[in-house]
Amino acid sequence: MENGHAGKHRVAVIGSGNWGSVASRLLASNTAKLPSFHDEVRMWVFEETLPTGEKLSESINQAHENCKYLPGIKLGTNVIADPDLESAVKDADMLVFVTPHQFVEGICKKLVGKLRPGVEAISLIKGMEVKMEGPCMISKLITNTLGINCCVLMGANIANEIAVEKFSEATIGYREDKEAANRWAKLFTTPYFLVAIVEDIEGVELCGTLKNVVAIAAGLVDGLDMGNNTKAAIMRIGLREMRAFSKLLFPSVRDNTFFESCVGGRNRRVAEAFARNGGKRSFDELEAEMLHGQKLQGVSTAREVYEVLTYHGWQELFPLLSTVHEICIGQLPPTSIVEYSEHTPNLSFVGGSTPCY
């Protein structure tokens, strides 16, 4: 922060779904201990009325638990749910964005002119906004709309496992401002949640985002009972396409950002059910039934990636990423996930290619 910011940092979390609640809990356990932070973590809640008739924000503040999106886990008494977006952020100088990616633009527009000077942001959001001129990553959307520095935090982390303090790792991607990245790392690190920082914001963000698409491919293979060798091959191809796609869009992306990381969670689980049903039940239907109001990001990311591929005429270069989308919308059967892999293109040309904007 600027030198005038000698006081303690105040944290606000924008979003209160499954991952938002887990992040708030983790951050609040640290702000309570770290002398450079105010104890209180404000969490903006998109207000809902529960079946009991109670408001979600009131329920969280009374029970210190998000009974809808993270039942059975105490968030900490210093997590304060606030249904008013402006009020939730007004005192904060560290903002954590963790909403479904389709809501980010609208939220940012509401926040213009409402933030304290010198605010820093971090995005835990996977996804991209596809514009005619190319994809806009969520961190860039936040920076462009609000004029603030925004890092990203991504990992193969499954929120419910972090909630019960199973060991997980994540990476913070930053652009130039290493000091800000270190401050975020300090705020997020716990004995069970290890954070590394890397100066490759696009690489980290695309790796986290595209992994959800590959997770769907992995889930389809599981649902078709094709065995571990096939799954390993799909993961290898997926990782290679993720890296090549990212480098075509952002030549500055570093290879080693795309480390082998596991793919699991809700995208894999729902895709497995989709394949077991032979594609007869849509992803929307399975999402509603299996996720109880949480969103499946892999399907929408697959569509966004497909829009970019179509725009550039790159579908044949990225058969796995293209096929996942075509299966998701019912254009191809789930079994086609393994059929294209015989004619995998040579992506070795992706080295010093030109960016699309």
Q: Hey, which residues are catalytic here?
A: 211
What 110-115 contacts at long range (C-beta under 8 Å, 24+ apart), as own/partner pairs, is 110/85, 110/86, 111/85, 111/86, 111/145, 111/146, 112/145, 112/146, 114/86, 114/89, 114/90, 115/89, 115/146, 115/148
238 is in an annotated binding site: no
**Taking the mean position of all CA atoms in its chain, how far away is CA 60?**
23
Which residues neighbour 350 within 8 Å (Cβ) at sequence distance 6 or greater? 243, 244, 247, 248
Q: Which amino acid is at 241?
A: E
267 is in an annotated binding site: yes
159 is in an annotated binding site: yes
**Alpha carbons 341 and 338: distance in angstroms, whole number:** 6
Residue 132: helix, strand or coil by DSSP?
coil
352 is in an annotated binding site: no
DSSP lists the bridge partners of residue 121 as 95, 150
134 is in an annotated binding site: no
Q: Which amino acid is at 153?
A: L
46 is in an annotated binding site: yes
16 is in an annotated binding site: yes
126 is in an annotated binding site: yes
15 is in an annotated binding site: yes
261 is in an annotated binding site: no
**Alpha carbons 1 and 32: distance in angstroms, whole number:** 20
**Taking the mean position of all CA atoms in its chain, how far away is CA 102?**
12
**Alpha carbons 143 and 8: distance in angstroms, whole number:** 23
266 is in an annotated binding site: yes
127 is in an annotated binding site: no
Beta strands 94-97 and 120-123 are: parallel
DSSP lists the bridge partners of residue 135 as 130
Please state the residue numbers annotated as binding site: 15-20, 46, 103, 126, 159, 266-267, 295, 297
Please state the residue numbers annotated as binding site for substrate: 126, 266-267
Please state the residue numbers annotated as binding site for NAD(+): 15-20, 46, 103, 159, 266, 295, 297
